[in-house]
A and B are shown apart, each in its own frame.
Chain A
């Protein structure tokens, strides 16, 4: 991390864009972190979604960043505003440790899976390749995206490793 680096925390149900020396960081349980990175322009973004869809239909207009169906188009728009179009970036996904153990609700038990599915479907439709996935299980994950070269530092279950694949 260089002296110019600025750590930008991406909270739960939040989207942030960064470039060059910025470091975007988020912590995930059953939520999914969607990382987009444009290696030529050194522009990156993380969207931290909680659920694929709004179960009530009332919350998503107030908190669009919470749900995959509303957050993903916003994520694409935010990249566009920074000057990065589809085709210039790839996608990586992390999290989705959806383990609502001990309860019967199908909805709750499938949160992680539904999150993964909606991201895959969206990226396929938009022709954005998903090049790295570290999802499911019952571990928490902290991911840091270094916008200078696109590497992701993944911390989970006592281990830390850099993932360098960006194209």
Chain B
């Protein structure tokens, strides 16, 4: 067993650990926003560990070549770019379709943002004061 095999196997073990943590967070968290937050972060980190680990592990074996590491890095970068986009789209869809927050939640920045935008557009008489200061 060479050093590359050992490094790759440790990375795969770490990634597997984070996969199981993401599945546990998906089961235990109270509402859909907390579930998405825990599960996406740890699943992305677990994917990076497993995929890069397989690439390094294959370099240490007799059948492996540099193409393994190149292809696994391509897959890992693709997952790292697209997982936050899909999480953002899903949570935006959940908020727009009216799913309420958990009763223990204390901060709702997106609601404050929407309220600020609506009051700004519905009360145009505040804008001459801002224009006078300029």
A binds B: no
Interface, chain B (partner A; CB < 8 A):
none
Interface, chain A (partner B; CB < 8 A):
none
